[in-house]
């Protein structure tokens, strides 16, 4: 019997400070790119619980989860990966910014608009991160 593949659900937090957005640099297979802090949702865990846990693991910051901002999907052309990305606004509560222990994590940085435009960001949501809309948006497939 063939095992059915399921999409991976990833939550991510948009933390802004003085007009800059916190991102985390990842390195996999010699490729470097930036992501919003966050990660996979475990079975039985709410989106908010997962985001608080992942944010703490990757940044050492305690956050409050705010409004849902947008949803996108990342589907590989060869169908090897399917990720549902759910993005929330987050608010800083406490802690000192510190990079998590995972080997793929390379740097934490608040990026301004110019810096953001010159970086590889996955999924490619640079324009949406800079928007100030108050409605939820479905962004479709953003695989690159």
What is the overall mean pLDDT for the chain? 90
Q: Report the CATH superfamily, name and number, of domain 8-141.
A: Nucleoside Triphosphate Pyrophosphohydrolase (3.90.79.10)
Q: What are the Cα distances from residue 23, in Å, to 16, 34, 36, 46?
A: 10, 6, 5, 22
**Which residue among 32, 107, 113, 131 is the active-site one?**
107
Per-residue model confidence as pLDDT tens digits over 39-53: 999 999 999 999 999
Q: What are the Cα distances from residue 128, in Å, to 12, 26, 103?
A: 14, 20, 28
Residue 107 annotated among the catalytic residues of the structure: yes
Between CA 79 and CA 77 the distance in angstroms is 5
Closest to 55 measured CA to CA, from 64, 45, 46? 64
φ, ψ of residue 71 in degrees (nearest 5)? -130, 135
Mean pLDDT within 100-125: 91
Mean pLDDT within 8-21: 95
Between CA 86 and CA 125 the distance in angstroms is 12
Closest to 55 measured CA to CA, from 25, 21, 13, 89? 13
Mean pLDDT within 20-42: 94
Domain extents in the chain: 8-141
Provide the pLDDT confidence category of residue 131 given band limits of 50, 70 and 90: confident
């Amino acid at each position: 019997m063939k095992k059915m593949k399921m999409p991976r659900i990833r939550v991510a937090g948009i933390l802004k400070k003085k007009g800059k957005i916190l991102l985390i640099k990842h390195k996999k297979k010699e490729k470097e790119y930036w992501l919003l802090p966050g990660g996979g949702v475990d079975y039985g865990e709410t989106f908010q619980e997962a985001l608080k846990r992942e944010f703490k693991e990757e940044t050492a910051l305690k956050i409050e989860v705010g409004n849902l901002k947008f949803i996108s999907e990342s589907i590989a052309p060869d169908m090897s990966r399917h990720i549902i990305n759910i993005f929330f606004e987050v608010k800083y509560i406490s802690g000192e910014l510190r990079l998590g222990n995972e080997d793929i994590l390379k740097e934490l940085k608040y990026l301004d608009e110019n810096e953001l435009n010159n970086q590889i960001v996955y999924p490619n949501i640079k324009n949406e991160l800079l928007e100030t809309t108050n409605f939820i948006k479905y962004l479709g497939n953003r695989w690159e």
